[in-house]
Amino acid sequence: MCPEDQTLSQYFDGEFDRSQKEYIEHHIDGCEKCAVKIEEYTRTRLDMLDFDEPDIEQSKYHVYAALQNDPRFQEKTVFWRRRILVPAPIIVLTAAVICILFTTLFVTIGIRTGNTIALRRQSPLQLRMDEIQLDELTRYFDSQDFMIEVKMDIPGKRDFSIVGEPQLLKVGESKRLK
């Protein structure tokens, strides 16, 4: 059985391994139809190769001379001057993502340095009284226009053993006087 014309074309281009090539050659030897097909392909190839080729050497010289005068050929692009083409939608999207990230960072996450406290408005403030003075805290809240209610659980007995004992007693007294 004759191989397909496409297979003969592939054989003609030398794309088969040795065993496949030998098989097809053996078939062609005994099949006139396939032999004619290979002859057609050979004729087409010879026609393609048999023509007045332009003078390649002359063209090579012309192009090289043109390259010497081409400003892009004089200066090799250095890395930091290299043009990188990025589609506009990608730039816009990247800028939007960066803006959203930074906005989220500043709005939702508090930064703490030394005695300065950045407060999250939704959550209750929990502080150790030895880390900050109450009047400092009150002044801070006033400056931020907070409506605050300071509740302190003062133990019944007066023999405190925690730091800040005088301040607590004083505030406790102020509240009672009111």
Please report, as ranges, the residues that interact with another protein according to CB under 8 A: 5-6, 9-10, 13, 15, 40-41, 43-45, 47-54, 56, 59-60, 62-64, 66-67, 70, 72-73, 76-77, 79, 82
User: Which one, 7 or 138, has the nearer CB to another protein?
Assistant: 7
Query: What's the min distance (Å) between Cβ of 71 and another protein?
Result: 10
User: Which one, 50 or 145, has the nearer CB to another protein?
Assistant: 50
Query: What's the min distance (Å) between Cβ of 90 and another protein?
Result: 21
Tokens 């396939």: give the residue. Answer: 34
User: Which one, 6 or 161, has the nearer CB to another protein?
Assistant: 6
Q: For residues 139 and 150, is the Cβ–Cβ distance under 8 A?
A: no
Q: Where are the beta strands (DSSP E) in 7-111?
A: none
Percent of residues in the chain assigned helix, strand, coil, to nearest 5: 60, 0, 40
Tokens in use for 170? 């004083």
Query: What's the min distance (Å) between Cβ of 2 and another protein?
Result: 15
Query: What's the min distance (Å) between Cβ of 91 and another protein?
Result: 22
Q: How many residues does the chain have?
A: 178
Task: Spell out the residues 6+ positions from residue 31 whose beta carbon is closer than 8 angstroms to its own.
Answer: 2
